A and B are shown apart, each in its own frame.
Chain A
Amino acid sequence: MDYLYDGSFEGLMTCIYYHYKKEKAAGIYEISCYQQSIVFQSETVETDISKAKIVSDAINKLISKEAYIYVYYCYLSNDADKENLIMDFLIFAFKYGRKTMNFYTHEKVLPINEIYKKVAREEHRVLGILRFSDIGGILYAKYSPDNDINILLADHFADRYKFEKFIIYDEKRKKAVVYADNVWEIKENISIDNMEFSLNETMIHKLWKQYFTDLAIKERKNINLQFQFVPARYRKNMTEFKL
């Protein structure tokens, strides 16, 4: 049986619930990407928060908190097969319990480890390269992450800019973290047009670009290294690389 879910984490957990309580899952797929299989029947799973909670509690108690975090990070990734990798991992992990994460190189565990690292790496990189602009007193940042890491950034910036208001906009997925007065939330299906900057704002952009260019030591030039750290695809939203 192929289970189809709505793309939410709770939906994914509900599918896992049905795998154990209803019928064994052959695969789990997001409903919008699914192509009807010849071999397996498919069923659309309605997201059920209470069933999802039973699964996530089980992961935390029977496997480990670390495993739960890794599974969540995998869910946030852009990996095409993430649902099935997560399912295969959980089937293995529920059998081996608390020792599961020690089996680092096991064929069911390794993919989860690798994807977690990929998402965590992007999260850490974005904390650094996200660029805000002051638009009428509100800090606004736009970016295009590979993985859906909006939710991972919220706490850090809510603390850093505690008494400011900000918007972090994922232009690929059309969703944003919006923060004001100690509360952040994720808004979906929004579209933000290109912003116009004030004269003062443009001046600060110029100051940063000048600073960024000036501090390079010419005798130590290494463009390849720079590309390694800041791949081309991130540069369109970074002030210092814009014309």
Chain B
Amino acid sequence: MDDNLFEKLRILSDAAKYDVSCVSSGVERKNNTVGGIGNASSAGICHAWSTDGRCISLLKILLTNDCIYDCKYCLNRVTNPIERATFTPEEVAELTIQFYRRNYIEGLFLSSAVEKSPDHTMENIYRVLELLRYKYNFWGYVHVKVIPGANSLLVQKTGMLADRMSVNIELPTRESLHILAPQKKVENILQPMSIIHNEISRAIEDKSHFKNFQKFVPGGQSTQMIIGATPDSDKTILKLSQNLYDKFSMKRVFFSAYIPVMSSPNLPAVSTMPPLLREHRLYQADWLMRFYYFNSAELFTEIEPNLDLEFDPKMMYALRNIDRFPIEINKASYEELLRIPGLGVTSAQRIIKERKNAELSYDSLKKMRTVLKRAKYFITVKGKYYGNTKLDPDAIKDEIRMKEIQRQISIFEI
């Protein structure tokens, strides 16, 4: 291992940090090799947490940050005078194995700037996978990015060895992509997504017919878009998300709050704070769509195409549809329980289970560790309402605001 490695790692992990996908979940695999190393756990394993509180489960690096494109929002754009570095595929594979052996990581997340051409870059990405799987006999988790514009055969070859693949959609509309990243054509982004989707479907189909079928990205595909770099609304963003989930059976759509890296007439000012709260609300809405049976349209009104920053999306939904509440805990269906603000999937499932034994009381809900802080305004338990206020959106908002102020004051009381 040479000293150059420190430099390369410094530059190329720093450059990769804005690709927020970091999950190592979705694939269950035992070590069925001869002489090989590694397995995969479907729940994913968090190995470390950085100072920004994010979980680290993979070695997340760029193969190179030497890019031929000039996307306005990107640190690595060709016109930016920064340090450039490139790993050899052998270096990436070796680093992955050594980190994996020491239990620092579950596997590798490999992205890249576009060096020389999409095909040239994708070839190198494939080479890393080939080394890991066939030379090192490594069967931990590997997630690779697909370079838009790379030829389909390369995409297919890579998918047979990777656990997950992503093509970044980058921006929510064709127009914003054209303004900020004109070299990235929408067709070049959608085409590999389509190929991946088709191959995954084929593999699933084969699985039901053949014993030894060719696997293809068993962890599915995901994508990422930057939010806050353009004036597009949350409604637009989530509608696009919903389409991606439906049409490409996307496993995850990731949102990355735009961190200003340069000034441009088409971008927010460099002094703009990254929209972290907005990103958080979008993830909450994403969860509602995937686990709580919400449709993206239900989260917005005609006049309000953005998610509220003060209150979470489920709370806003409940306040806007107050006529559907209060819901009786002992009689509600699972889907109805999921609509109650502050009540999560775990609590809803537990309520359904416990109801079989006995009628639930307010006390038994508390004993089950159901968080009633917000839910209490929207439910009755055995017919009784514990909300301490009228069932009125403004009254409830005021109650919650007051409780929050009281809580903050109490922190300072001795």
Contact = CB atoms under 8 A, between A and B. Distances in A.
Given A163-B36, A239-B104, A104 B354 contact: yes
Contacts of B53: 220, 222, 224-226, 228-229
Contacts of A226: 49-53
Interface stretch (B74-82, B94-102, B244-252, B392-400): B94-102
B198 interface: no
Mostly, the B contact residues are loop
Given A104-B353, A219-B259, A208 B1 contact: no
Nearest to B360: A105
A210 B14 CA distance: 10
A149 interface: no
Interface in B14-71: 14, 16-18, 30-31, 33, 35-39, 41, 43, 45-57, 59-60
Contacts of A124: 43, 45
B101 A131 contact: no
A134 B14 contact: no
B185 interface: no
Q: How large is the interface on B (under 10, 10 to 19, 20 to 34, 35 or more residues)?
A: 35 or more
A129 B105 CA distance: 9
B181 interface: no
Nearest to B20: A217
A233 interface: no
A181 interface: no
B101 A214 contact: no
B135 interface: no
Nearest to A158: B31
Interface string A154-198: 001001111110000000000000000000000000000000000
Contacts of B102: 131-134, 139, 204, 208, 239
B364 interface: yes
Nearest to A211: B13
A230 interface: yes
Contacts, number: 145
A206 B6 contact: yes
A222 B52 contact: yes
Contacts of B35: 163
B350 interface: yes
Contact of B364 (A105, A141, A203): A105
A128 B47 contact: yes
A200 B1 contact: yes
B49 A229 contact: yes
B36 A211 contact: no
A80 interface: no
Interface residues of A, number: 54
Interface string A204-243: 1011101111111111111111101110000000111000
Nearest to A230: B49
A188 to B, nearest CB: 23
A226 B53 CA distance: 5
B9 interface: yes
B218 interface: no
B364 to A, nearest CB: 6
A9 to B, nearest CB: 26
Contact of A104 (B16, B41, B46, B368): B368
Contacts of A229: 46, 49, 53, 55
B274 A230 contact: no
B297 interface: no
B99 A139 contact: no
Contacts of B140: 160
A174 B79 CA distance: 58
Q: A-B pairs with the 7 shortest C-beta distances?
A: A225-B53, A222-B53, A220-B52, A216-B50, A229-B49, A105-B367, A216-B51
Interface of A: 99, 102-105, 110, 124-125, 127-134, 139, 141, 156, 159-164, 200, 203-204, 206-208, 210-226, 228-230, 238-240
Given A163-B35, A200-B1, A226-B49, 8 more contacts: A102-B354, A104-B350, A124-B43, A132-B101, A156-B39, A160-B31, A214-B14, A215-B13
Interface of B: 1, 5-6, 9-10, 13-14, 16-18, 30-31, 33, 35-39, 41, 43, 45-57, 59-60, 95, 98-99, 101-104, 140, 259, 273-274, 276, 350, 353-354, 356-357, 364, 367-368
7 contacts: A124-B45, A129-B47, A139-B102, A162-B36, A207-B6, A210-B10, A211-B13
